[in-house]
Amino acid sequence: MNDLNMAVEDYIYKVERAIACANQMIAGHASNRIKLIELNQAVASISAISKEIASDEEHHFVLQSALSSLNVSLLDLNTVANEAIQTLSGHLGRSFDELRASSEDLSRFSNHELDAFKPLLKKYQMTVDSVCIRLINDCVTDSSLLRILRSSKSV
């Protein structure tokens, strides 16, 4: 296998790793967001019930204590979810660094040498662009952070 084929295979592998990391971020973020919404609704429901039985002070105190505990747990869960996204952002940044290095390896070949692979490389570039748009649209990250993580030369 010649150097060009190996460089293209490496590039494709790096794209697939970056895509997998981004998809993991998107899925995890969506799942966390749904769970947090469900928990917020449960807390609101308990709070409403607590207000309805305010005349019974002993039960009201127990409910308020449980509600306070739930709120603390909700904040903790939100913190953990945000830390997980930050960790995955670091992994995505590393994946983009590797992809950038692989892209630079490809840039050492002439346009003539790359001609046979350009449709394939373009397809993978479009896939990277698509997942980056999904990361932004799903509010997993913002465009400025993604631009920093991704800043690479296109092949």
Q: Supply the DSSP string of 100-115, one letter for each residue.
A: HHHHHHHHTS-HHHHG
Joined together, the tokens standing for residue 91 give 């992994």
Residue 61 lies in a domain: yes
- Structural domains of the chain, count: 1
- Whether 31 shows a pLDDT value over 90: the answer reads no
List CB contacts of 81: < 8 A, sequence separation 6 or more.
Answer: 29, 32, 36
Residue 51 lies in a domain: yes
The per-residue pLDDT for range 124-134, each reduced to its tens digit, is 999 988 888 88
pLDDT band at 19 (very low <50, low <70, confident <90, very high): very high
The per-residue pLDDT for range 72-125, each reduced to its tens digit, is 888 888 888 888 888 888 888 899 889 989 999 999 999 999 999 999 999 999
Residue 76 lies in a domain: yes
- Whether 22 shows a pLDDT value over 60: the answer reads yes
Domain range spanning residue 47? 3-150
The per-residue pLDDT for range 53-84, each reduced to its tens digit, is 766 677 777 777 888 888 888 888 888 888 88
Chain centroid, CA 60 distance in Å: 41
Residue 119 lies in a domain: yes
The per-residue pLDDT for range 43-56, each reduced to its tens digit, is 888 778 777 776 66
pLDDT for res 155: 41
pLDDT for res 153: 44
Rg from Cα positions in the chain: 24
pLDDT for res 152: 46
Residue 155 lies in a domain: no
CB-based contact 104:119 (threshold 8 Å) = no
pLDDT for res 71: 83
